[in-house]
Amino acid sequence: MDRPRMTAAASLEDLLAKDAITDVLARYSRTLDWLDEEGHASCYWPDAAIDYGFFKGLAADFVPVVMAIERASARRWHLSGPPAIHLIDSAHADVETYGLTAGARQGEDGTYAGTMYGGRYLDSFEKRAGEWRIARRDYVLDWSHPIPNQPVFDPDAAFPLPILEFLQGGHPKYRVL
């Protein structure tokens, strides 16, 4: 069966919508990792319905909760796979994105240990006043794995790469993009 041909303008609008949605998902990870609470809040509509299992409620209430969790980790890292985006119409989209997350805390003995999580974000996006944001998010945890004995924050002389440590927003290496 032949599909009707899209006009160039419609194709361009679809590409722009998918790019804007992908940008929100990248901002989601960056703002968590850099502890940028305001930037993180900009990923959701304040009235977005959020279900992470440990939290069910509105995005406006979720952002302070998740940022407190992230601040309790000396290290945090969020990586998202490429999103699968289904545009429903010019203002609504369903999106599924796989994600890996790792975080670590320093123990009383000075060593760092953490957990790596694998899951997926099941999102509904809405475009309001020309801007795409998450309007609903359900997180599904597929697996978790402990990460013991992470390296300390001192660079290894044989492999001298800097290791970032920050427990609050405003790190000097953070750039608003």
Q: What is the mean pLDDT of residues 144-161?
A: 69
Residue type, 85: I
Residue 110: per-residue pLDDT: 75
Pairwise CA distance, residues 26 & 81, whole Å: 10
CB 32 within 8 A of CB 102: no
Q: Which residues pair with 113 in a beta bridge?
A: 105
Instruction: Decide if pLDDT at 108 tops 90.
Output: no
Q: Which helix (H) or strand (E) holds 82?
A: none
For residue range 55-87, list pLDDT tens digits in order.
999 999 999 999 999 998 888 899 999 999 999
Alpha-carbon radius of gyration of the chain: 19
Domains along the sequence of the chain with CATH = 8-150 (3.10.450.50)
